[in-house]
Structure 1
Amino acid sequence: MIKKIIALSLFSVLLFSKVNAFSQSTLADTFKVEQSRYLLLDKGLQFRITKSINSMYDFNFPVAERDFAVLAYQYPDHPLPDFLMALGYWWRIEVDVTNEKYDDIFIQYLDRAIEKAEAIYDEDETNKEAAFFLAAGYGFQSRLYSERKKWTKAAWGGKNALKYMELSRGEEEFNPELLLGDALFNYFSVWIPEHYPLLRPVMALFPKGSKELGLQQLEQVATNAFYTRVEAQYFLFRLYASEEKKPYEALRISEYLHSKFPNNPYFHRSYARHLYTVGRWTESLDQSLEILDRIAAKQVGYEANSGRYASFYAAEYYRRIGDMVEAKKYYLQTISYGEESESQESGYYLHALVQLGKMETAAGNKSLAKKYFKEVKRYAKRKHPAHQEARDFIKKNKL
């Protein structure tokens, strides 16, 4: 039973990708029927909220939420205002998904959006707008519950989202905004069975996807869409960086996103990371130090998780040029931020410990070096590269 629940919750992550694509296109010309019937098709409203959503991406939440509050006053019985407020809190969560600070308010706004959508749907089961908000609301809830390992709730949310997602379909072939959902489904319907064999029987019940087609569709959305362009670019740089091993493509996209939304900490640290990956270390250092300055200034969204990234890139830069004093300073800062964000099993935290162990060995401080290597073996799995490197170094240097 437990395995079945876990399988369903993992599938909800795939489902969330599909629903998330819909959610980011809420302002698009989604349903080309009865324009007077659906609030989403109000052209003036589209313009107003597009500006607000751009503010949300740039972490200017007061501006975005002021507009959303006006919208809630104008349309008190419609799910759109509450759903947009929930999106703002999702971006706060996205910066560090281990931080549960915003969980309750995020769920509260989604519950209110779902309740209002259900009232509309109960009166008219052909209302695609209501079905859309129900699919998106349950999909986002499922995504968060998956992160929190609340498998039963994640599976329940995923099941409901799937039900309403099918009912919300409407002439998608005419809408480039909704192509993002198909792109993500095509890619992840292949990716998930490759990485989670347990889900292969589940995925066999759905149409066969294609990772190649999914990437092509993502590129199409990133180039041609209006409302979903940023979301497509977000998924593209993540896939190019990790799964597709195309670091220069990831850099190209993250550089654009950082330039367009310079106050978004997720895009900022991704840009620094991709600069580091392709060997543009001086530029990565500049961005990393700027991130650390923003954390010190307590800028919205800049916190320990971003600090762990930035400190590590800075440490690596100084180690490469032979400035071990500065390198040690930033490796220690990586450790500090890692502990603050409870990320002791992350690669940057572990590799920082390995480098500190090597530095203390070179300085003749073997007892301190042993302490660092002991921490590596405590937090890293035996097959982790940091664990292997620590074992090899200990053996070679007879620590």
Structure 2
Amino acid sequence: MSKGVKMVLILSMWMGFFYSVLAQAPSPSPTPPLPPSNSPYLLLDKGLQYRITKSINSMYNFDFATAERDFAVIMYQYPNHPLPDFLMALGYWWRIEVDVTNTRFDNIFIQYLDRANEKAEKMLDEDPKNKEAAFFLAAGYGFQGRLYSERKSWAKATFAGRNALKYMEMSRGEAEFNPELLLGDALFNYFSVWIPENYPLLKPVVALFPKGNKQLGLQQLETVASNAFYTRVEAQYFLFRLYASEEKRPHDALRISEYLHGKFPNNPYFHRSYARHLYTVGRWAESVEQSYQILDRIDQKQYGYEANSGRFAAFYLGEYFYRVGDRAEAKRYYLKTVAYGEESESQESGYYLHALIQLGKIATAEKNKRQAKGYFDMVKRYAKRSHPAHKEARDFIKKNKL
């Protein structure tokens, strides 16, 4: 597939996926449920929002059994509405999100989205101006496009992305939806500028879309993170990712990931992100503490904690012990990083490759050149030649005559 086609697909998927209106929710208020809204849209029913908040918080804390019992009640009460099926799909999306290489939840995730889309389409047939139905279709097709792109099913992803964009435009115009709609605008503003900055050859393709503004995009994300109901935590989730990688604002990334881990302490994605950002800003003792917790939860077989999270945590521990001069403990945790990386088939990941390099350096210091050469050869086998780890391995082998 050409880069140009990929670019259109990527933009479609970003727009569709980030318009998913129910991805996260704030903690329940201690005040009693509010009375129903006068709006004809179920999404804007305040009493239902209160109930959904509690259920979605359970889901994002990886208490899927509690969440899905609540979703089943909503499904019974509103059998023809897409909301319950969409909520069920969200639960499976987060099972996937922890380790996107795991495909065992793909089919049931797509089935729930298909059911939600079918119900939304029926609503739209009955009322072509129904903004809520278009809202769900934009979200449903957006999530499908995201999964299909992860699976490199480009034809399906393109179809889903185009539908997400179409229904997203149809959903505009309802003032009460604006805080949620702003999330899509924010991410489009940011990435429509970021993509040509990082992929100059794609500038002609991006020129077909409206002009974006990265700083405005970040400001809009902050607004959503503070003011939206359904998409508040989703905005925080993407803010900490942007702050950590693209914006080079590690302390802001830490601030948000610390909040999310505190809010959802059993969510392994937020947990490992918190440990990572502690490590990045040099708060070593706290990163070590969180990393030990992650590894302990894996040993205890806590749901959602698996090899992918273990690879992160073991690496941070290896780095800590290497820096304080405890070579034996460093070696132990670098070996765990490698083992978790192989279990999760993440041999091309930076942590896996860097752990091998560190093991090679330790073996060299221990005068075991044969073992060291083996580690560096593994780096060369799994890393692309352009990868910094590949160059470091080549240079170390040459310098130390391995």
Task: Give the TM-score taking structure 1 as reference length.
Answer: 0.94
User: Which of 143, 147, 152 pairs up with 2:150?
Assistant: 147
Structure 2 counterpart SS, 1:279:
coil
| 1:128 counterpart residue number | 131
1:95 is aligned to 2:98 = yes
Shift of 1:174: 7.2
Cα offsets for 1:305-325 (capped at 9, x unmatched): 110000000000111111111
Cα offsets for 1:146-191 (capped at 9, x unmatched): 1111111100111111111111112348733332222111111111
Q: Sequence identity of aligned pairs in percent?
A: 75
1:37 is aligned to 2:40 = yes
Distance 1:175 1:118 in 2: 22
1:234 is aligned to 2:237 = yes
Alpha-carbon contact 2:24-2:234 (below 8 Å) kept: no
Distance 2:199 2:22 in 1: 26
1:203 is aligned to 2:206 = yes
How many residues of Structure 1 are paired with residues of Structure 2 in the alignment? 392
Amino acid at match of 1:249: D
Amino acid at match of 1:216: Q
| 1:30 counterpart residue number | none
Alpha-carbon contact 1:187-1:214 (below 8 Å) kept: yes
RMSD: 1.8
User: Structure 1 172/37 Cα, relative in aligned 2: closer, same or farther at 3 Å?
Assistant: closer
User: Which of 312, 330, 355 pairs up with 1:309?
Assistant: 312
1:19 is aligned to 2:19 = yes
User: Which of 343, 360, 381 pairs up with 1:340?
Assistant: 343
Alpha-carbon contact 2:16-2:165 (below 8 Å) kept: no
Amino acid at match of 1:83: F
Shift of 1:340: 0.7
Alpha-carbon contact 1:12-1:143 (below 8 Å) kept: no
The farther-off stretch of 222-231 and 287-296 is 222-231
Report 1:133-282 matches (<5 A): 133-172=136-175, 175-282=178-285
Alpha-carbon contact 2:25-2:56 (below 8 Å) kept: no
User: Which of 96, 107, 110 pairs up with 1:104?
Assistant: 107
Distance 1:70 1:287 in 2: 36
Distance 1:192 1:227 in 2: 27
| 2:85 counterpart residue number | 82
Amino acid at match of 2:353: L
1:288 is aligned to 2:291 = yes
Shift of 1:282: 1.2
1:6 is aligned to 2:9 = no
Alpha-carbon contact 1:350-1:376 (below 8 Å) kept: yes
Distance 2:2 2:363 in 1: 46
Structure 1 counterpart SS, 2:19:
helix
Shift of 1:203: 2.4
Shift of 1:193: 2.3
Amino acid at match of 2:23: Q
1:70 is aligned to 2:69 = no
Alpha-carbon contact 1:13-1:142 (below 8 Å) kept: yes
Shift of 1:25: 7.5
User: Structure 1 17/73 Cα, relative in aligned 2: closer, same or farther at 3 Å?
Assistant: closer
Cα offsets for 1:15-66 (capped at 9, x unmatched): 234423x343899xxxxxx945322122211110111011111111111111
Distance 1:259 1:250 in 2: 14
Distance 1:290 1:270 in 2: 13
Task: Give the TM-score taking structure 2 as reference length.
Answer: 0.93
| 2:52 counterpart residue number | 49
The farther-off stretch of 118-127 and 273-282 is 118-127
